[in-house]
Chain A
Amino acid sequence: MTVSDLKQSYPDSSKPKINWARIEEAEDFANTVKLFRQGKYDEDSFRRYRLQHGAYGTRMTNDYAMVRIKLPAGEIYPYQLEKISQLSEQFSIGSAHFSTRENIQLHWVILEDVSEILRGLAEVGLTSREACGNSVRNVMCSPLSGVCSDEEFDSTPYALATARFFLRNPLSQSLPRKFKFNFTCCEKHGMVRMVDVGLIPQTRDLDGTIQKGFKIFLGGGLGNKSFVGHQLEEFTPEEDLLYTSIAVIRIFDRLGDRKNMARNRMRYLVNDMGWEKFQNLVLKERAIVRATQSVVTHLEVDNTPSIIKRPIRISDESGSSIPDGYARWLKTNTIKQKQSEYYSVFITLEAGDITSNQITALAEIIQEFSSEGHARAGFVQNIALRYVHEDDLPSLYSKLLTVGLAKSGALTMAAPIGCSGTTSCNLALTNSHRLAKEIQRKFLELKLDQDDDLRDSSIKISGCPNACGQHGIATIGFFGGGGRVGKEMYPNYQMSLGGRSDEETTLGATCHRIPAKRVIPVILKIIELFKQNKKSDDTLKDWIHRIVNGKEESYIKSILDMRKALDSFTIPPTKEEDPDFYTDYGSDSSYHTKTGKGECAA
């Protein structure tokens, strides 16, 4: 008997249907790093190669990388989590990060170790290929697709098929810039107008037969300059989904700006050309694509339903008491599914960070509680555990509590987004990541997650104007910069109000510059003002939208009024009065801005 004979094995039903990996890419990466270190590979080509394989640069150093692991449609299986837990302990910082685009990121990885991570990922069918660089990035899908009571049909198989079609496809290896697809379930739960291609499933009745199709939005995106996407046509039948995607990518590839790195996302092309012209071009190109494919090209959509099987309980928990905080958690972290008796449970992480031990525990919890046997990454640095039977919710809560994954407020304003900021990003000006954690802690301490008036609002923070923290679509959004008093600098945030990503997608309106150490008091002040002036069934979100749109009747009628109400928070104290004001979160030395070269446009 050897030890390895006793390794835990998983049944086939708990394994994904698609293997995204290619083991030879690990070997190739290791060799390419060696050649690069020997000077046989020039810096630019190496950077392109590295990004194409999902290894991003790290703040102020060339020795480390961040490896971005794609989770197409957000799906993640227990044995994959176990591997990621191991890899984060071995090659990263013992924690991993869930991003806003359904990726898991391992930070501060030594460049020479990246190939070992790729090797480990290949063992469990995952890849980081085309997770960075000018390629089709991870194809997202709503964590509620398949369980949402407002959806027409489950778009997950289409998201997976799209990811599969474009991964390693020569068509998308050298685009002018990155390219993103978001599938969703319904208007409410998606982000389809803030992405290159956004898709909502819909159906229509065609002489008695129900036809599946999509509402497709093109040319949206968040960034230094953000745009809202346009709907291509009334209804795009499912047969046209791939042709449309190919047509759009071909146009972008052909006409996209390859010179001006700062404005080469497709949204700029759409904006420069004008929507109608772009729309016509897409429709014409699609006709050409449809007519000229030498072989019939179609998406391999696998619509076999997933197996839903309630896990067998080994332990008998009847009679065990329900821990404190259960009701609060149930209210703020779970959604009833369209399948009766089942719930989707959201796990909120501080700014998306999770320890390797928690990842291992999560793998176990999924097997024990999710009747579909896997989990989904969400849109807000979180994780969804679906198909949890309602009778199992109390014991799931107890289990999550023991491993520190039962924070409440997952589906509320108390779960802010913070990009990685100065913890690892070359472009960051402020520690947006830590600020998001601080806000979450304060909100939970004040139990604001339980406040129904705040529930549908959001806080999102970026460490620079580039919007990885999605500040533009937040009810209260922030992006980082530096403020100055004479020779002294302090971390500062530009605050915007009233952004949203639903049917009425709008970008937030610029309101004020708020010093980092005043952000929390300002948010609390805004809530206080809202409480003073709200109508009976008002939410913070509605109130702010009225202000932004000049429709509010109380004394705060406009963004300008709000600005005045917050003026006192923005006046810098002297350094002697308050030295802390001049330091950023996570740092005890005086603040100064420092950035390296960005790689988004490499």
Chain B
Amino acid sequence: MSQEKTIKTTTDIDSLRSEIRDKSVRVIDVRREEDYKQSHIPTAVNLPLANLLSDDSPERVLKLVNAMGIDDETPVVVYDDTFGALASRVAWTLEYLGHSDVSLLETTFSKWKSLGLENDDKTPEIQSKEHSIHLKPEILATSDYLETSKDKPDVILIDNRERLNYLEQHIPGAISLPYRTLATQDKILRPKDDMKRLLDNRGISGNSEIITYCGSVGTLSGLAYYALKSVGLPNVKLYVRSFKEWKGLEKPIAKQQDANYWDLSAE
């Protein structure tokens, strides 16, 4: 695994188009099946996030990956229409399985279409391949792991839900970095320098271990996982079962007290 490959978190539009022409990439569309069937990026296969989440055990994921014609060497690019959050969750799952060359399309399918770029409704025929399993537990955080490590001085826990949800309840010690902060108008992630400055200001830098979480299945925090990787932070983990599990396990919860912040919202 080369250094360069680990740092590449997004693929730009131009590169993806030439990779599609060269037939050197497997593109995964994680939207719902009916949306995929209407139109998608040429050659893309469909893996709706809900389908993956129905059972994301390594054995099942391996079957899905093989069926999509992905082996250990196949470059994979994932896209969605949800500002990159669903695509991130799928990409992370492949990475966890041990796939080293997976990245996110830099933009969403809507944007792709609005630029007038090619799309079609054909489902490609796929030749199944054999992928290996080399799990990467170092990118996964479980509730037990989180509980024992979150208070260590070199661990930073990041909550990627919206600010009001964070104020209302969050895992004690977490800092708030809403997922919207990570993107620009056009791209699912800010440019590297911009992202780095933002994270530096928040003290998210250096060799700390960083754990991200969000509301329930690790999508928003999956995007944050890639945001942190995009600036080269070396040790990032996703608490994939996120706040829903934490709360369900009745673990401690912190709250911003004595203020009626919800009443400032015009929603």
Residue numbers of A with Cβ under 8 A of B are 1-4, 6-7, 30, 33-34, 58-61, 86, 89-95, 97, 107-108, 110, 112-113, 115-116, 349-350, 353-355, 358, 420-424, 431, 433-434, 437, 584-587, 594
Contacts and interface: CB of A to CB of B under 8 A. Distances in A.
A61 B163 CA distance: 15
B186 A437 contact: no
A90 B107 CA distance: 18
Contacts of B256: 60-61
B259 A423 contact: yes
Residue among A3, A112, A433, A584 with max Cβ neighbours from chain B (10 Å): A3
A430 to B, nearest CB: 10
Interface stretch (B1-9, B195-203, B240-248): B195-203
Nearest to A586: B260
19 contacts: A60-B258, A86-B185, A90-B180, A90-B181, A95-B264, A107-B264, A108-B163, A108-B167, A112-B201, A112-B203, A115-B201, A116-B201, A353-B264, A353-B266, A424-B259, A424-B261, A433-B260, A433-B263, A433-B264
A85 B267 CA distance: 14
B254 interface: no
Given A6-B115, A93-B164, A107 B261 contact: yes
A353 B262 CA distance: 11
B186 A95 contact: no
B266 A355 contact: yes
Contacts of B187: 3
Contacts of B180: 89-90, 94
Contacts of A113: 181, 198, 201-202
Contact of B202 (A95, A110, A421, A594): A110
B181 to A, nearest CB: 5
A94 B265 CA distance: 7
Contacts, number: 117
Contacts of B111: 3
Interface string B10-51: 001110000000000000000000000000000000000000
Contact of B263 (A58, A89, A431, A594): A431
Contacts of B106: 3
Contacts of B260: 421-423, 431, 433-434, 584-587
A434 B163 CA distance: 19
Contacts of A350: 266
A4 B180 CA distance: 19
Interface of B: 12-14, 106-107, 111, 115, 162-164, 167, 175-176, 178, 180-181, 185-187, 197-198, 201-203, 256-267
Nearest to B167: A108
Contacts of B14: 1-2
Given A60-B259, A115-B201, A424 B115 contact: no
Contacts of B185: 7, 86
B84 to A, nearest CB: 14
Contacts of A107: 261, 264
A60 B257 contact: yes
Contact of A422 (B167, B259, B267): B259
B112 to A, nearest CB: 9
A424 B167 CA distance: 12
B176 A586 contact: no
B163 A349 contact: no
A112 B201 CA distance: 6
A94 B263 contact: no
Contact of A112 (B12, B202, B264, B265): B202
Contact of B186 (A1, A3, A112): A3
Contacts of A33: 201
B245 to A, nearest CB: 25
Given A6-B115, A350-B266, A423-B260, A94 B164 contact: yes
Contacts of A1: 13-14, 115
B123 to A, nearest CB: 27
Nearest to B178: A90
A548 B118 CA distance: 73
A107 B259 CA distance: 12
Instruction: Report, nearest first, the 10 A-B pairs whose CB atoms are least far apart.
Output: A353-B266, A586-B260, A434-B263, A59-B259, A89-B180, A423-B264, A90-B181, A3-B186, A95-B266, A586-B263
B267 A94 contact: yes
Given A59-B258, A349-B266, A586-B263, 20 more contacts: A3-B107, A3-B111, A3-B187, A7-B185, A59-B259, A61-B259, A86-B185, A89-B180, A93-B164, A93-B261, A93-B264, A93-B265, A108-B264, A112-B201, A354-B266, A423-B260, A423-B264, A431-B263, A434-B260, A585-B260
Given A2-B13, A4-B186, A90-B181, A97 B264 contact: yes
Contacts of B162: 93-94
Given A61-B256, A115-B201, A437 B264 contact: no
Among B176, B181, B263, which residue has the most Cβ atoms of chain A within 10 A?
A: B263
